[in-house]
Amino acid sequence: MNTATLPIELPELTQDDLTRYSRHLILPEVGVEGQRKLKAARVLCVGAGGLGSPLALYLAAAGVGTLGLVDFDVVDASNLQRQIIHFTADIGRKKLDSAEEKLKALNPALNVVKHETMLSSANALDILKDYDIVADGTDNFPTRYLVNDACVLLGKPNAYGSIFRFEGQASVFAAKDGPCYRCLYPEPPPPGLVPSCAEGGVLGILPGLIGVIQATEAIKLILGIGEPLIGRLLLVDALKLRFRELKLRKNPDCPVCGTHPTVTKLIDYEQFCGIRPETKEEQAVKNGVPQLSVKELKRRMDAGENLFILDVREPFEYQIANIGGKLIPQNEVPQRLAEIDRDREIIVQCKSGNRSQRIAEFLKQSGYPKVANVSGGILAWSDQVDPSVPKY
Amino acid sequence: MTIFIPTPLRTYTADKDAVEVNAATIAAALDELTRAHPDLRMHLFTSEGKLRAFVNIYLNDEDVRYLPEKDATKVSSTDTLSIIPSIAGGCPPRGRMQIQHRIPETQ
């Protein structure tokens, strides 16, 4: 009932298959027929990162015949703490190439389909249509809603997982008669309300836990066994190692899967999530705060200009890397204004430019006449000015 | 009763993952919670006092929106309330997008 559409003609198992999957074959719930279903199955992993790594590895090991991967990123050193499909030697390589290599090494019979693109309203239906099940391991709200809507429109179940710090969520959305992501969250939070993983951090094992739950659900859906996480939201708290379950209901008024849907084709998801591309003018000035590139900052420092560089990160971050600015963590700035010289130009800097932008706006409101934000923060400094400054 | 606070909102409850309140209904419990932790209010409710659309409140394992009496439902000391906000699992690709409106955090 909840199984994905599979070809009626299931492929035969080879002698190698019989040996490799013997521990599956002796399970009555899987057996030869189940293993043939796995061999025929086509699963799309959206994202080859934290969630996608364990998900793809386990599906490949289990004998899923075709795995599609959507990603356009390259491997960065800061990925390796959790994205276990990528190794140290892969830094700088395309994630798709790195993942394909590991998956084929694990299971040479696997058919890997690489989609080197950012999933968008223009390409999502075309990419998803060739798969039976979608496993959403993306890292941002617009893509979450895009994957959901595309799954509902195409009738493909979505093994969903998401993580933040020590906490994870998992469910199966868009299954026949089951609720979808929009039934749970009709609207996205305003941008900036939920901190990103780069700012909020994530425990490295957490995507392992949640990604394996997504893989479990995908395999159960293929085999048609057990009770999939349809209509249930699993909450995982890694610190307490507590699993809780909440009931999810299909919302009859859901705009995409309800009885009278108003979303009948894919929309502009960045606009839906309150995000729009930057214009040229906004790149130069954001909310009244001039944006300074790291190269321009370096030039002005070298020219000996009288700049007050204010670093608003936390002390432990400053210890890892700094460019010699005055350290006042963002939450202490309102109480420590006396230490910030009103007569000089204040250049606010943080890790990637978000916290410093907020503080720069605050300083302007507090009457500082000349304030600028370092666009891209110390990460950009390390990339474009001084690679010896460590990235974290 | 116990109200479970999710990770993204613990900044506003002095890092507490659960808050105990004494209340007769769900609405009264949320009221007591936001009186004890006023910074939470704007994250849970609109300026008109309506629960925000991206925040889900569960009484035990049931979505409050689907209870017949909604937030007027009576609660006992053994019940739990859970606040379930959306989490995306990461960040938008750096430098490609811009925040259009954000909740001020510095004042």
pLDDT, tens digit, 9 for 90 and up, residues A229-247: 999 999 999 998 999 999 9
Residues of chain B contacting residue A274, judged by C-beta atoms under 8 Å apart:
99-101
What proportions of chain B, in percent to the nearest 5, are helix, strand and coil?
30, 25, 50
The CA-based angle A80-A81-A84, given to 5 degrees, is 60
How does DSSP classify residue A65? Answer: S
Q: Is A151 a catalytic residue?
A: no
Answer yes or no: are the C-beta atoms of A93 and A80 closer than 8 Å.
no
**pLDDT of B86 over the 90 cut:** no
For the segment A321-333, what is each residue's pLDDT rounded down to a tens digit?
A: 999 999 999 989 9
Q: Decide if B88 and A139 are in contact by the 8 Å CB cutoff.
A: yes
Q: Decide if A247 and B8 are in contact by the 8 Å CB cutoff.
A: no
A-B C-beta contacts closer than 8 Å: 146
Backbone angles phi, psi at A161, to 5 degrees: -145, 145
How does DSSP classify residue B69? Answer: T
Residues of chain A contacting residue B10, judged by C-beta atoms under 8 Å apart:
none
The residue-averaged pLDDT of B62-90 equals 89
Of the candidates B63, B90, B102, the beta carbon closest to that of A191 is on B102
Task: Name the token pair of A51.
Answer: 């969630």
How does DSSP classify residue A378? Answer: H
For the segment A44-99, what is each residue's pLDDT rounded down to a tens digit?
A: 999 999 999 999 999 999 999 999 999 999 999 999 999 999 999 999 999 999 99
pLDDT at B99: 32
Higher pLDDT pick, B94 / A101: A101
Q: Decide if A187 and B87 are in contact by the 8 Å CB cutoff.
A: no
Q: Parallel, antiparallel, or unpaired for β A42-46 and A307-311?
A: unpaired
Q: Which of A60, A62, A68, A8 is nearest to A30 (CA)?
A: A62
Compute the distance between CA of residue A64 and CA of residue A222 in angstroms, rounded to an integer.
9
Backbone angles phi, psi at A300, to 5 degrees: -70, -35
Answer yes or no: are the C-beta atoms of A377 and A356 closer than 8 Å.
yes
Given A197, A254, A257, A273, which residue is catalytic? A197
On whether ipTM exceeds 0.95, the answer is no
Is residue A187 very low, low, confident or very high in pLDDT (cuts 50, 70, 90)? confident
Q: Is A25 left (phi over 0), alpha (psi -120 to 50) or beta?
A: alpha
pTM above 0.80, yes or no: no
Reduce the secondary structure of A72-116 to three states and give it as a string: CCECCHHHCCCCCCCCHHHCCCEHHHHHHHHHHHHCCCCEEEEEC
Residues of chain A contacting residue B96, judged by C-beta atoms under 8 Å apart:
277
| Torsion angle defined by CA atoms of residues A190, A235, A269 and A262, in that order, rounded to the nearest 10 degrees | -100
pLDDT at B55: 85
User: Please, where are the H alpha helices in B4-80?
Assistant: 26-36, 41-44
pLDDT at A164: 87
Name the maximum alpha-carbon separation found in chain B: 48
Q: Decide if A376 and B105 are in contact by the 8 Å CB cutoff.
A: no
Average pLDDT of chain B is: 81
Of the candidates B102, B103, B107, the beta carbon closest to that of A362 is on B107
Q: Decide if B82 and A282 are in contact by the 8 Å CB cutoff.
A: no
**pLDDT of A217 over the 50 cut:** yes
For the segment A357-370, what is each residue's pLDDT rounded down to a tens digit?
A: 999 999 998 889 89
Is residue A9 very low, low, confident or very high in pLDDT (cuts 50, 70, 90)? confident
Q: Which of A35, A38, A39, A10 is nearest to A21 (CA)?
A: A35
Q: Which of A358, A363, A355, A359 is nearest to A379 (CA)?
A: A355
For the segment A130-172, what is each residue's pLDDT rounded down to a tens digit?
A: 999 999 998 888 999 999 999 999 999 999 999 988 999 999 9
Residues of chain A contacting residue B101, judged by C-beta atoms under 8 Å apart:
190-192, 274
Residues of chain B contacting residue A201, judged by C-beta atoms under 8 Å apart:
none
Given A183, A254, A273, A350, which residue is catalytic? A350
Neighbours of A26 (CB within 10 A): 9
User: Which residues on adjacent β-strands are paired with residue A349?
Assistant: A311
Residues of B contacting chain A (CB within 8 angstroms): 6-8, 17, 43, 52-54, 56, 58, 61-63, 66, 82, 84-107
Of the candidates A140, A142, A194, the beta carbon closest to that of B8 is on A194
Of the candidates B17, B54, B92, the beta carbon closest to that of A140 is on B92
Nearest CA in chain A to B95: A376
| Torsion angle defined by CA atoms of residues A81, A229, A5 and A129, in that order, rounded to the nearest 10 degrees | -50
Q: Decide if A276 and B43 are in contact by the 8 Å CB cutoff.
A: no
Compute the distance between CA of residue A163 and CA of residue B16 in angstroms, rounded to an integer.
19
Is residue A277 very low, low, confident or very high in pLDDT (cuts 50, 70, 90)? low
For the segment A101-113, what is each residue's pLDDT rounded down to a tens digit?
A: 999 999 999 999 9
Containing H/E element for A299?
helix A294-302
**pLDDT of A387 over the 90 cut:** no
> How far A69 CA sits from the closest chain B CA (Å)?
18
Q: Decide if A276 and B98 are in contact by the 8 Å CB cutoff.
A: yes
State how far the alpha carbon of B85 is from the alpha carbons of A135, A185, A192, A233, B38, in Å. Answer: 21, 8, 14, 12, 18
Task: Name the token pair of B73.
Answer: 């439902």
Q: Is A180 a catalytic residue?
A: no
Q: Which of A166, A16, A285 is nearest to B8 (CA)?
A: A166
Answer yes or no: are the C-beta atoms of A363 and A357 closer than 8 Å.
no
Q: Decide if B100 and A164 are in contact by the 8 Å CB cutoff.
A: no
Task: Name the token pair of A301.
Answer: 């420092």
Instruction: Indicate the length of chain A as a whole number.
Output: 392
